[in-house]
Structure 1
Amino acid sequence: MDVDFIYDKNWAANYSDFARAHGRMVDIVETVDFLEGYSSGGSALELGIGDGRVAIPLSERGVRVEGIDNSDSMLEVLAKRTDLVKAWRGNIADFKSEQRYSLVYCVYNTFKALFTREAQLACLRSVAQVLDVQGILVIELDVPALQGFVNGQKTTTLFVDNENTILNTHVHDPLNQNLVSSLLWFSGTSVRRLPHRARYVYHQELDTMAECVGLELAERWGDWARSAFAEGSNRHISVYRRTN
């Protein structure tokens, strides 16, 4: 992720709760099933490993998982949760490793945290250099949902129950495909503000960027259960392999 934006202690402390409220804990088994099938009994590298939401259960399947994250706070949470996963602090836009991996994966829109096209290209280039000859890259991204902006701004409701209301506010820069956003989490009498930002990418552009660094699309699915990617899909799981 960009070195000037880091998921700080507030994000690290609330990330699991947010992922659960956002419905992203229920598909962990399907996510791990999918990724395990591409690990080929080798090692895997997660880009933006965070608190280990995916890496820990994948490592418990016997996959040797390593990870990169630019947040010390996230890495501290990961270290408290497991000693099975090796992770280090770094920028996923520009990393090197002596290790070669059967699988590199970047899930839950982490790729969008790279805020420029150049950074996204650099990330894919770094991935191509650390994949082994038969290695696979898996990226999970939402399909951009740009309806409802008024004067470049939009507020959406992510979650509501008897105790919590989570709103997401966005400012849109269409020229650079950027969204600068803040999560506002109301719980009882407290309010938490969690900033984030993204450069959204359509799947066609992602394919083109991958081709520029020597990767080609092998498969694309609408979810981790391998539903077809279709016009109404709200996300995609894209699988790339090396071209040489």
Structure 2
Amino acid sequence: MSDIFAYDESRASTYEKFTSLLGKVAEADETAALLEQLSRGGGALELGIGNGRVAVPLSERGVRVEGIDNSESMLKLLAKRTDVIKAWKGDISDFSSEQRYDLVYCVYGTFTLLSTREEQIACLRSAAEALTEKGVVVIEVRVPPLDGFVGGQKTTTMYVDHENTFVNAVLHDPVNQNLTSTILWFSGTSVRRLPQRVRYVYHQELDTMAECVGLELAERWGDWARGAFTNESKGHISVYRRTSL
């Protein structure tokens, strides 16, 4: 990930409030509940563990959780929250582990922060190699939000309350399947700029990439409550298992 899009100390410090306003902190318990079931009582590895938004409630459910993240600042936030979870700095597109896990998961669109198809396939390969024989890989991504672009650009209001406003300006590069966005966070008299670039994937492409590394789709839902994945879904949770050895 380019330094301009990295979670430095100043950005990491605002992450919890940002995700809380968008409802992601409240969603974490529901996410952890489903991941606990999928772990089958074994160990779990989170790719892009961040500040432990999901890993901490999952650990509190009795699952042994470990994690990888490329941001020192986010890992410091995690360490302040708990000393139970082992986490290390690394690249989720190219990692190896002697430990094998019953669950390897990557949530909140972190997978799409990998900016090329090759990196995304490499991530899935590393995840598959870290699984136990009956383990599963869980990937949460958004359905590509490609409506409303004019001349390859779109500006939307993501969130508004009495104190905060999030305005998101996005550029679409269809050749590389990239969305480069800048979120402007207005709070009181201050303005923060949060840049991000993702390589979006459709669920069919994700399935094909998984097949390339020896994974097959086991289940897919539209949300963490196991709602159906439909034409109206904003995202999906896809569960992959290893193909027959």
Aligned residues: 243
Mapped to 1, the partners of 2:169 and 2:77 lie a distance apart of 27
Mapped to 2, the partners of 1:126 and 1:95 lie a distance apart of 6
- Per-residue CA deviation, residues 80-110 of structure 1 (Å, 9 max, x unaligned), is 1110110000000000000000000000000
Identity within the alignment, %: 67
Mapped to 2, the partners of 1:222 and 1:193 lie a distance apart of 30
TM-score, length-normalised on structure 1?
0.97
User: 1:1-244, aligned counterparts within 5 Å?
Assistant: 2=1, 4=3, 5-243=5-243, 244=245
Mapped to 2, the partners of 1:11 and 1:117 lie a distance apart of 26
Letter in 2 for 1:22: L
Mapped to 1, the partners of 2:10 and 2:179 lie a distance apart of 20
Instruction: Report the CA distance between 1:28 and its aligned residue.
Output: 1.5
SS of 1:26's equivalent? Answer: helix
> What runs of 5+ residues in structure 1 fail to find an aligned partner?
none
Mapped to 1, the partners of 2:56 and 2:30 lie a distance apart of 14
Instruction: Report the CA distance between 1:32 and its aligned residue.
Output: 0.7
Relative to structure 1, is the Cα distance of residues 133 and 3 closer, same or farther in structure 2, using a 3 angstrom cutoff? farther
What stretches of structure 1 move > 4 A for 4+ residues in a row? Answer: none
Contact 1:10 / 1:194 at 8 angstroms: preserved in 2?
A: no
Contact 1:178 / 1:200 at 8 angstroms: preserved in 2?
A: yes
Mapped to 1, the partners of 2:235 and 2:196 lie a distance apart of 19
Contact 1:164 / 1:187 at 8 angstroms: preserved in 2?
A: yes
Letter in 2 for 1:121: I
Letter in 2 for 1:71: S
Letter in 2 for 1:88: W
Instruction: Report the CA distance between 1:231 and its aligned residue.
Output: 0.9
Letter in 2 for 1:50: G
CA RMSD of aligned residues (A): 1.0
Contact 1:51 / 1:77 at 8 angstroms: preserved in 2?
A: yes
SS of 2:181's equivalent? Answer: strand
Instruction: Report the CA distance between 1:150 and its aligned residue.
Output: 1.3
> What runs of 5+ residues in structure 2 fail to find an aligned partner?
none
